[in-house]
Chain A
Amino acid sequence: MSGPMISLKNIQFHYDPGKTILNDLSLSVEKGSITAILGPNGTGKTTLLHTILGLLAPQSGEIWVAGKSIRAYKRSELSQVIALVPQSEVVPFNFTVIEYVLLGRTPQLGFLDMPSAADVDLVRGTLKLLEVNHLEHRAVTELSGGEQQMVVLARALVQEPQVLLLDEPTSHLDLSNKGRLLKILQTLAQQGVTIVFSTHDPDAAAMIADHVILLKAGAVLDAGLIFQVLTSAKLTETYGTEVKVVSIDGRLVTLLINGRFNEKEKVS
């Protein structure tokens, strides 16, 4: 692994001056690594991803991507470097899967260009890689949550990004689809793509992440290698509820201690 792919220094962000969302936040992400952002609801995970994407401009601080300040990038240039899989994508009208995924080629096209046959081939190849090629002519709006997530991922992948940002990518997925998606992310990282994803699921982080960033109230509570950060004490502090982290076959698993009501506590 070489120098940092993403680096944030002293980021300050707010929508309203009185309500700081990101507070003096600094972090760095290595090329080809997988980083998970964990933290309670409303702590600024999506805001952080949107800041790295350039969609939200911080009031102060510096963001560097691939060795260059994001303010030095043209919009179209930056979209060739970073792709986003948003938390939910509402696709309007009846775009078919292939029409929708082709839109991911936009950053690679000239401003007024149309996609070529080579772009269509690339899209078909990506759909096949993600095992959703049979959905090619289906309307995106008619797909199941798991299928739709794979299609959105395909749209981001055909951008051929160096950095892939994912906002809670596993939140609508069943166990099998979750496993499949995480495996794909792991393969992408092995190919050199830098992956940053936010999640409410510490187990998803434990499955594939090299690094974990714990956010609380817009600031980094802790950040580092997964085995150093994903501990009972730190997760308990982050979420404000008792969490136990155990190791099973060398992998970390989190348990929510007060997560199971006993008979007396059940609401009748």
Chain B
Amino acid sequence: MAQRLVWLLRLPRIITAALLGATLAVCGTVLQMIFRNPIVEPGFLGVSQGAAFGAAVAILWLGGGRLTVELSASLFALLGLAGSFILARTIKFGGWVLRLILSGIVVSALFSSGLGVLKYLADPLTQLQEITFWLLGGLWSVTWKDLLYVAPVVMIGLLVVYLMRWRLNVLALGQDTAFSLGAETNRERLVLLIAAVSATAVLTALSGIVGWIGLIVPQITRQLFGPSGQFAVPGSMLIGAIFGVVCDNLARTLLAGEIPLGILTSLIGALLFVVIINRSRIKLR
């Protein structure tokens, strides 16, 4: 019985928590290096808000089944990314990175206002609660089936980033230097972004919004292993996985009832961030 419990309930949840932590952390590392900015995180580029909007759409109009919510959240997260890219191409000023960040802010704001409308329309006794609960984030009902749905995209995404970890260093240099070192800068950035953000999108669809891991873990990793992607990428995977599992375990066991994971990661992440910015040499340029 105990074995069955561990196998059916605990193990898929632990693996998902580890994958979620690793993916959010590695996505943060990718975004921070590509955008050459230590305070960028996966919430940029319309991904998180897109996923939230997609989940709300599924809860409101598509019956709210678990798989439907996950699919809809993934789809809208990727739409958020695509929307940010398309919009960035239409902006006529600034470099590619600035245009992409501006577009991400616009797309996030659009999804956020759309989510507001959906919350307004939702039935306050059933649907609104469900949307709110999803937004808080958690892994309480993850099954092997859920994990198997997301695993291929996540594993491919992580593998691509891991294999391209040296290229990430080159892309972190300025455009002219990266070009002179033979990088196909726009194409390589696109591959890395799609790999990292797709993995994040499908996991976010499963877990709800889990913030701060993508911001804080890359910072910790750089302090421990240095900034080179050669070590920062596997390092952030490892530390992110540990962070994910520890937070999920705390969420499960700290109080009698389960604390939504998103609340806990935000609390721990924000506190750690204060410690890090006061102790480290984060330089914003």
List the interface of chain A (C-beta within 8 A of B).
50, 53-55, 75-76, 78-80, 82-84, 86, 89-96, 99, 103-104, 106-107, 109, 111-115, 141, 156, 159
Contacts of A99 in B (CB 8 A): 169, 226-228
CB-based contact B227/A53 at 8 Å: no
Contacts of B252 in A (CB 8 A): none
Contacts of B38 in A (CB 8 A): 93
Contact with A along B172-210 (1 / 0, CB 8 A): 111111011111100000000000000000000000000
Closest chain B residue to A159 by CB distance?
B181
CB-based contact A94/B180 at 8 Å: no
CB-based contact A106/B172 at 8 Å: no
Which among B33, B169, B177, B281 has the greatest number of chain A C-beta atoms within 10 A?
B177
Q: Complex: how many Å from CA A53 to CA B178?
A: 12
Interface pairs (17), CB distance under 8 Å: A53-B179, A55-B180, A78-B182, A83-B180, A84-B177, A90-B36, A92-B173, A92-B227, A93-B33, A93-B38, A93-B227, A94-B227, A94-B281, A103-B173, A107-B181, A112-B166, A114-B166
Contacts of A80 in B (CB 8 A): 182
Q: Does B163 contact A (CB under 8 A)?
A: yes
CB-based contact A93/B172 at 8 Å: yes
Contacts of A141 in B (CB 8 A): 283
Q: Does B164 contact A (CB under 8 A)?
A: yes
CB-based contact A95/B281 at 8 Å: no
Contacts A75-B183, A78-B182, A106-B181 known; list 12 others, CB within 8 Å: A84-B180, A92-B172, A93-B38, A94-B227, A99-B228, A103-B169, A103-B181, A112-B163, A112-B164, A114-B230, A115-B166, A159-B181
| Chain A nearest CB, measured from B50 CB (Å) | 27
CB-based contact B180/A75 at 8 Å: no
Which 6 A-B pairs have CB atoms at the shortest separation, nearest pair first?
A: A79-B182, A93-B227, A84-B180, A76-B182, A92-B36, A107-B182
Contacts of B226 in A (CB 8 A): 94-96, 99
CB-based contact A89/B228 at 8 Å: no
Contacts of A93 in B (CB 8 A): 33, 38, 172, 222, 227
Closest chain A residue to B188 by CB distance?
A111
Contacts of B228 in A (CB 8 A): 95, 99
Q: Complex: how many Å from CA A201 to CA B182?
A: 30
CB-based contact B285/A90 at 8 Å: yes
| Chain A nearest CB, measured from B217 CB (Å) | 15
Contacts of A76 in B (CB 8 A): 182
Closest chain B residue to A156 by CB distance?
B180
CB-based contact B176/A53 at 8 Å: yes
Q: Complex: how many Å from CA A159 to CA B181?
A: 8
